[in-house]
Structure 1
Amino acid sequence: MLLRQMLDIYDLIDKPQASGEECAALIRSHGIAEVTVERVSGDRGGTDCIKVLIPGSNGKSRGGTAPTLGIVGRLGGLGARPEMIGAVSDGDGAVAALTAALKLAEMHENGDILEGDVIIATHVCPDAPTLPHEPVPFMDSPIDMATMNRMEVDERMDAIISIDTTKGNRIINVNGIAISPTTKMGYILSVSNDLMDVMTRVTGKMPQVFALSQQDITPYGNDLYHLNSILQPTTSTDAPVVGVAIATEQMVAGCATGATHGTDVEEAARFAVEVAKVFGPGACKFYDEEQFDRLQKLYGDMSRFQTPGKSA
């Protein structure tokens, strides 16, 4: 259970002065040394990009061989001040990722050390702009998607869980979390059985899987409709990426306040922690390597879908 950790993080981010440094200090207080915060600014403001490395007993950061899991908290912003007062729905991905980081830090401090490294990355922005979108408005971000991917997608990540609020759509209509099929190098692959097993034990329910279209795994900025930014990390890495959507039955705008369901955010964070436990020892595969190799032999390279494409 990660409810206390989630509430600790939520208290830090639900204010106009929310900062990456304050979140980093909380995680460092549990003995995790590699926590970095970088302020990145653009024409629409700035945000604190935070990255945490939880070292594993056989992790690559210590010269080991266990694979590294990446946990990315996707969002435009934690708040939309001054337009909206308070934490917005869009920030749930960051809260879940930071909750997972805090829990993993506490586990490490207490001697429950995972086999592989875990890298958690997100950003903290209490005053992000909004963006028109159908069927409900999106939260925008003070930095562009290419910059966000550069800050959050780390080449050391051997697989990535991308957590994002995904409530402004008609595709997912459950309260709780849902996962995507695995995406890799322009392909939408089969849903991972191992991840569905983890999801079943975390939620106590049948696994929920949401549909993807091909344009969802193309970069922003190509004038194609995207479900949201949940799969944008797959456009900048060769590692397999799975989206973890924090969802609702009814559409909720990303800029809505009072729309965070704590148990759902905790569930997403707990799912990420449970995947981290089994990914390092090799007991959780995001995709079937033989099937992927055969796909490439039969149908060729699909990495063009990771690019902006041809100019119109």
Structure 2
Amino acid sequence: MSLQTTLVAYEALDSATVNGQSIVKMFAPFSEFNVTVKVTTVNNEPPEDPTKTVDFVSILIPGTKGKSIGGTARTLGVIGRNGAIGARPVRIGMVSDADGPIGAIATALKLAHMKRAGDHLPGDVIVTTHIATNVSMSFNDGVAFMGMPVSSETMNTYEVSDAMDAILSIDASKGNSIIKQRGFALTPTAMQGHILRMSPDLVKVMESTTGRAAVTLPISQQDITPYDNGLYHFNSIMQPHIATEAPVVGVAVTAQSVVGGSDSSANHEVDIAEVVRFCVEVAKRFTVASTDQPCEFYNAAEWSKIRGMYPDLSVFQTSGGVAGGRV
């Protein structure tokens, strides 16, 4: 069940010494089913301590007709966005910002368990995140957030793959006064500089997996622009949009109170397990691409009309100005 894999991921990440190799060991029992984990270690970038490192993790759960084996089935990307899972030595233990990595890794673990149990998806699922345990804190509207070990652009380099046909971006989104409920919320679809309508299919999946009415998170045009362009951003949940032409939907882990990203003892296992259950169900339906249970991130016919009626908005995936293509 999703709660069990969530607890496993939670306990693995709740450590001062966890790194990418810890995740490799977690998935070693599934190697005979061709589940693979790739770890890339890079140095932190200023203003963080460049003598310290961050591990980027990419987990592939291959499908029976997936691109990884030369097939044509669609690939779902699941990204665990975060600044860091720890703010040591200022904070002891795991911080709220770890929701993204916990949810992403738990989703991969559940899919690996399913594969071992004989439930194979036709398409690949690629799960990516990064692990940093001692990053500084920053502030957004007076709320303590986690800093970032490297730039958002560097994160996208290692966490966004051209093979992803659609992306779910999981991110702790509790340090705000916009959405006040325990659980998670979905954003509208962002694609190639456009903010599209909420996906009706994803709303249905959310309602069926949670047993409650869907909850949505409003995003602005600024949210789908690069993180370092000086504009206001709700948080980094939509940053994968910058690096891909594929549709991106944010899966925001939310709370009733304002919880800073660097607050410790603030990861709610049951809420994250709901995210995992949602992501797993999306993976099932999206990679199958069935007309019986459609799971589309956007309406292709309407997208074609938009592109025919309005100019290219991919400039919003850049930093803007003349260098970004504006005149």
Q: After TM superposition, is the score higher than 0.5?
A: yes
Determine if the alignment matches structure 1 residue 78 to structure 2 residue 85: yes
Aligned residue for 1:278, secondary structure, equals helix
**C-alpha distance in structure 1 between counterparts of 2:305 and 2:142, whole Å:** 38
Q: Cα 1:227–1:24, aligned 2, differ >3 Å: closer, same or farther?
A: same
Report the counterpart of residue 26 of structure 1 in structure 2. 26
Q: List alignment gaps of at least 5 residues for structure 2.
A: none
In 1, distance between residues paired with 2:210 and 2:24? 29
Deviation at 1:33, TM superposition (A): 4.2
Counterpart contact for 1:13–1:126, Cα < 8 Å: no
Cα distance in 1 for partners of 2:252, 2:83 equals 15
**Partners of 1:135 and 1:274 in 2: CA distance:** 37
Q: CA deviation at 1:34?
A: 2.3
Residue 167 of structure 1 aligns with which residue? 174
1:36 to 35, 38, 45: 38
SS in 2 for 1:94: helix
> 1:58 offset after TM fit, Å?
1.2
Residues 40-79 of structure 1 mapped to structure 2, 5 A cutoff: 40-42=42-44, 43=46, 44=48, 45-79=52-86
> Is 127-136 or 217-226 further displaced after alignment?
127-136
Matches within 5 A, 1:113-132: 113-132=120-139
Instruction: Report Cα offsets for 1:84-135 as digits up to 9, x if no partner.
Output: 0011000101000000011111111121111110000001111121112114
Give the one of 279, 285, 290 matched to 2:296: 285
Taking structure 1 as the reference length, the TM-score comes to 0.98
Q: Distance in 1 between matches of 2:264 and 2:13?
A: 13
**What displacement does 1:249 show?**
1.3
Q: Please say if residues 27 and 101 of structure 1, whose CA atoms lie closer than 8 Å, have aligned partners that are also in contact.
A: no
Any unmatched runs of 5+ in structure 1?
none
Identity of aligned residues (%): 45
Deviation at 1:61, TM superposition (A): 1.1
Q: Partners in 2 of 1:140 and 1:17 — Cα distance?
A: 19
Q: CA deviation at 1:47?
A: 1.0
2: CA distance, partners of 1:61 / 1:30: 17
Aligned to 2:220: 213
CA distance in 2, matches of 1:204, 1:34: 33
1:192, distance to aligned residue in structure 2 (A): 0.5
1:12 equivalent to 2:23? Answer: no
- Count of residues in correspondence between the two structures: 312
Distance 2:309 2:145 in 1: 38
CA deviation digits over 1:163-193, x for unaligned, max 9?
Answer: 0000111121111010000000000001011
1:304 aligns with 2:315: yes
Taking the aligned partners of 1:263 and 1:269, their CA distance within structure 2 comes to 10
Aligned residue runs from structure 1 range 256-267, under 5 A: 256-267=263-274
After TM superposition, the runs of 4+ consecutive aligned structure 1 residues lying more than 4 A away are: none
Q: Is the contact between residue 96 and residue 267 of structure 2 (CA under 8 Å) also seen in structure 1?
A: yes
Superimposed CA distance per residue, residues 232-286 of structure 1 (whole angstroms, 9 cap, x where no aligned partner): 0001100000000000111110000011111011111111111000001113100
Which position in structure 2 is the counterpart of 1:187? 194
How far the C-alpha of 1:310 sits from its partner, in A, is 1.1
Distance 1:34 1:22 in 2: 13
Residue 311 of structure 1, CA deviation: 6.9
